A and B are shown apart, each in its own frame.
Chain A
Amino acid sequence: MRFFQQLIFILIVSTVLSLWLPWWSIAIAGFLGGAIFHSGKNFLAGFLAIIILWGSMIGWTEWHAASDLTTRVAQIFSLNKPLLIVVTLLIGGIGSGLAALTGSYIRPKKKKNLYY
């Protein structure tokens, strides 16, 4: 449950920040998500949130694209279009995941032995 809250939080904050800040705004969103929610799978939450967000944005852009610039860009990098999209998603996902992980270290580890 905490994991899903964290994922949704990162997703929403990233979307909002993207409107005003450059690409590294996903780091802020991930960091905050990691710090505030602190689930057991911080990296995965950040990773998936950006995959979902960027994936939807790319999907929407491609769906309405008036020209196939993506294929030309892929060729510049000696890739094909699906691979270029995978590379893009990995960059966003790993970036956000790392930021979430970093954020999570701000809080102390939940220590089960506290109750002893």
Chain B
Amino acid sequence: MRIVPFFISLVFTAGFFYMLSISHEIDGNRIPPLGKFLDPFHGFWQNIESNNTQPKQEEKLLGAVKDEVIIYHDSLLIPHLFAENDADLYLAQGYVTAMHRLWQMEFQTHAAAGRISEITGAGKNDAVLNYDRGQRRLGMVYAAEKALEGMLSSPASKEAVEQYTKGVNAYIETLSYKDFPFEYKLLDYAPESWTTLKCALLLRSMAQTLNMGDKDIEMTNTLRLFGKEAVDLLFPDREKVGEPIVSKPNQWNFPAISLDGKPLALPEELIQLQQKIPGSDPNTGSNNWAVHGSKTSTGSPMLSSDPHLNLSLPSIWFAIQLKTKNMNVMGASLPGAPHVIIGFTDSVAWAVTNAQRDLVDWYQIKFKDDKKDSYQLDGSWINSKKVIEKFTVRGRETYIDTVIYTHWGPVVYDESYQAEDNLKHYAFRWIAHDVSNESQTFYELNRAKNYQDYMQALNYYSGPAQNFAFASVQGDVAMRVQGKFPIRRKNEGKFVLDGSQTSNGWQAFIPNEQNVMEKNPLRGFVSSANQYPADSTYPYYIHARSFEAYRNRRINEVLGKSNQVKVEDLMQLHSDNYNMKAAESLPYFLSTIGTISALNKAEKKAFDKLSSWDFYYDVDSEGASYYEAWWDALMPLLWDEFDVEKTSLTYPTSYQTIYLLKKYPELKWFDFQSTPEKENAQVILLKAFRESVLQIENWKKDKGFEKVRWADYKDSYIGHLLRVSALNIKVQHGGNHDIVNAHSKTHGPSWRMVSSLEKNGIKTWATYPGGQSGNPGSRYYDRFLSHWTSGRYFELDFMQVIPEQPQQLTIILKPE
């Protein structure tokens, strides 16, 4: 043996293998362990699925199941689960969901719980760690613990969540590195055990998406800077736009609960927050409707579901059918939670949109001293509860944060987090911090046979508040705005509140039976699109960040016109690209600048394109691009007063802006601050027009395009959850926010479904922008995408019996 060369060579070899077996962080980016990752026998190549898959059947012995469970995948990779009992069914749901979506389930719940820096490290400028801290400081884990407490309080929802968890873990146990989903390999980590708390985190994370759009801090700043008059003019509680979800003037026949009319004291020293935790995207909204049999071609009701969310890959929804002797349900489930969330049974179908209502408040806390050990409440000093939050940061020592919990909830912003030293402390009150059991609602909806069952199921539902559209084979259609709504005094919740008095808190909630609802209305359909819920005679004060103004009226217009509604009409309505906002504003915009002759060549061309445009946001439309560019240039010019350094403010809504432009063109707000002259609507519109045309000309030059097609200009994509651009998928599609086909750059229709509730059975068609598999190496990853962009649907195979031949993969779970 040649000792010296041997050891030199050994060191080199060992070093080579070692360096390529660990991951490295370079400039904030994590590089996977290259040897491990690129090895074709174990690395990412193993995630590339083969294209010559024959249908097959596999058996799997599982100690946890009592009886045999059949998991039958159809040709779209939608699993159909046939079980003898609930316990086995939910176990199988956890198992099969993990099989297709494990990485996403874990990543989303890590994100909810503020644990992403465990996977990726602190990120550039600690961005990831700050995100994680924000999640903890909002009390997301606390909220999930409350949700879990609710879930475990009923035997049915308890069994479902516990069995689901067992199923996920049974799947995780079968995995070795070679089988890990792609993203685990890319980021070099391994799945951990699933827990019931993770199911709860997922539901509360959905509540966060849908509830966090409050603008209490922005409104308070507006009040401080511009006064109450400005708030009332620019941010009215109710805009002058008709068609609430339910209109039955003077027929709200119940004794409404009223609180003492004592006006709430606004905190004297108002705050200035530079940077808030980003709230919900204002583009997050949804459509749903149900048409009565008297208006359809079949004489049976039809229902449509169209929730809009941030579109991502792997997809938000996972289609599934669950069948036992006592239940048969199919539809969209959330990966990480049991039950079907939007779907249909043998007899009923339901769909949800966000109710928008303000379920978030901020209370000013007066601490006794800098130690913050106690704070003032009703004239005495109450001890603060300090919670230590530990953050395991990859590649760094553990980060420790202290969050103070008060009577109201956690104090989110303080010296250590996104606020300056002299800022006051505000505690965060959120409905999702209360115990509730939404799982029971879905458990019962999944078994609903008729209208009574639907009403009963919704009684458990607390939040995030939703507009539940309903239809049944018995012929009923209904809408119910369901959630746990605090009874508010006028203006309560619009601004930040004084937290030194418990009387400023939520004292009572609207009883379930007094929520906004209707059944089989005269107009022959129910619909919702995040607009104002009720007519002005509804006896409770209603407030929200904003209510939708355009999609809802377009839907009602289209549904109102026909008495022979067909399934195809409803599909077409999903893809309707007509922009009512443009139709109501553009003619006025053009008329104000039409008198000006001094337009240059490009401006003249844009003017002509806009004049002849039909207000449709189709893929090839150029008018849509010019209008959007104009609008985007207009808003910051009009509302320049709202660009105040180091102050959180928000612009008035599109609807209110257009209303004020048309009605009060000389309004002082339209004067441009930085010029000595006095501008009006006309001057600003022209300035914005010129800027936008220039911007489009530059865009064309940049891209080398002759035309500015809407799909190119919008440049939309479905983004991978990791925000790695190579994993995103670009799409060419019409539509935008404010349009029924609400697909903006990154948000849009996440689950399009149309059900026809015929006497001899329910037929359902659906599509979504992604696919059943969460594996980017699978053909099912984006299987539905081209159908989605082209407005085509798959008829869902709602099985009554198990087909004899496997279509794709059939798994039989057998007791050991």
Given contacts A66-B779, A102-B10, A107-B1, contact A75 B48 (CB under 8 A): no
A-chain residues with CB within 8 Å of residue B52 when the two chains form the complex: 64
Given contacts A22-B177, A69-B48, A105-B1, contact A76 B35 (CB under 8 A): no
Q: Which of A27, A61, A72, A91 contacts B776 (CB 8 A)?
A: A72
How far is the CB of B85 from the nearest CB of chain A, in Å?
Answer: 36
Q: Mark A75-96, 1 if CB is under 8 A from B, else 0.
A: 1100000001001100110110
Most-contacted residue by chain B among A22, A87, A99 (CB, 10 A): A22
A-chain residues with CB within 8 Å of residue B254 when the two chains form the complex: none
A113 near B: Cβ within 8 Å?
Answer: no
A5 near B: Cβ within 8 Å?
Answer: no
How far is the CB of A85 from the nearest CB of chain B, in Å?
Answer: 9
- Chain A's closest residue to B3 (CB) is A105
B326 near A: Cβ within 8 Å?
Answer: no
Question: In the complex, A102→B2 CA distance in Å?
Answer: 10
Question: In the complex, A64→B261 CA distance in Å?
Answer: 72
Given contacts A57-B41, A72-B727, contact A66 B9 (CB under 8 A): no
A-chain residues with CB within 8 Å of residue B776 when the two chains form the complex: 67, 69, 72
How far is the CB of A41 from the nearest CB of chain B, in Å?
Answer: 15
| A106 adjacent to B40 (CB under 8 Å) | no
Question: In the complex, A107→B1 CA distance in Å?
Answer: 5
B418 near A: Cβ within 8 Å?
Answer: no
Question: In the complex, A32→B43 CA distance in Å?
Answer: 24
Question: In the complex, A70→B45 CA distance in Å?
Answer: 8
| B40 adjacent to A67 (CB under 8 Å) | no
A65 near B: Cβ within 8 Å?
Answer: yes
Question: In the complex, A22→B176 CA distance in Å?
Answer: 10
Given contacts A61-B40, A105-B9, contact A94 B16 (CB under 8 A): yes
Given contacts A57-B45, A64-B52, A102-B13, contact A92 B39 (CB under 8 A): yes
Size bracket of the B interface: 35 or more
How far is the CB of B723 from the nearest CB of chain A, in Å?
Answer: 12
Q: Mark B734-748, 1 if CB is under 8 A from A, else 0.
A: 000000000000000
B-chain residues with CB within 8 Å of residue A27 when the two chains form the complex: 13, 17
Given contacts A54-B40, A105-B1, contact A65 B35 (CB under 8 A): no
Question: In the complex, A61→B182 CA distance in Å?
Answer: 15
How far is the CB of A60 from the nearest CB of chain B, in Å?
Answer: 9
* Total A residues in contact with B, Cβ cutoff 8 Å: 38
Q: Mark B12-56, 1 if CB is under 8 A from A, else 0.
A: 110011001100000000000011101111111101111111000
Q: Mark A99-111, 1 if CB is under 8 A from B, else 0.
A: 1011001111100
Most-contacted residue by chain B among A23, A75, A94 (CB, 10 A): A23
Would you call the interface of chain A mostly helix, strand, loop, or mixed? helix
Given contacts A24-B17, A57-B41, A72-B776, contact A91 B35 (CB under 8 A): yes
Q: Mark B43-75, 1 if CB is under 8 A from A, else 0.
A: 111011111110000000000000000000000
| B2 adjacent to A72 (CB under 8 Å) | no
A52 near B: Cβ within 8 Å?
Answer: no
| A67 adjacent to B781 (CB under 8 Å) | yes
B724 near A: Cβ within 8 Å?
Answer: yes
Question: In the complex, A29→B17 CA distance in Å?
Answer: 14
| B35 adjacent to A23 (CB under 8 Å) | yes
- Chain A's closest residue to B722 (CB) is A76
A-chain residues with CB within 8 Å of residue B263 when the two chains form the complex: none
A48 near B: Cβ within 8 Å?
Answer: no
A-chain residues with CB within 8 Å of residue B182 when the two chains form the complex: 69
B778 near A: Cβ within 8 Å?
Answer: yes
A73 near B: Cβ within 8 Å?
Answer: yes
Q: Which of A72, A91, A99 contacts B20 (CB 8 A)?
A: A91
Given contacts A24-B17, A69-B47, A69-B182, contact A18 B778 (CB under 8 A): no
Q: Which of A66, A88, A102 contacts B40 (CB 8 A)?
A: A88
| A98 adjacent to B51 (CB under 8 Å) | no
How far is the CB of A4 from the nearest CB of chain B, in Å?
Answer: 23
Question: In the complex, A62→B42 CA distance in Å?
Answer: 15
Most-contacted residue by chain A among B9, B41, B182 (CB, 10 A): B41
- Chain A's closest residue to B39 (CB) is A23
Most-contacted residue by chain B among A62, A72, A101 (CB, 10 A): A72
Q: Which of A22, A66, A84 contacts B42 (CB 8 A)?
A: A22
| B39 adjacent to A72 (CB under 8 Å) | no
Q: Which of A57, A61, A62, A102 contacts B9 (CB 8 A)?
A: A102
Question: In the complex, A98→B48 CA distance in Å?
Answer: 29
How far is the CB of B635 from the nearest CB of chain A, in Å?
Answer: 35
| B6 adjacent to A106 (CB under 8 Å) | yes
| B2 adjacent to A95 (CB under 8 Å) | no
| A95 adjacent to B17 (CB under 8 Å) | yes
Interchain residue pairs A-B with the least CB separation, the first 9? A75-B726, A23-B39, A105-B6, A57-B40, A69-B777, A66-B779, A66-B51, A98-B13, A102-B9
A-B contacts, 11 listed (Cβ < 8 Å):
A31-B13, A57-B45, A64-B52, A66-B53, A67-B777, A69-B776, A73-B726, A76-B724, A91-B34, A92-B35, A108-B1
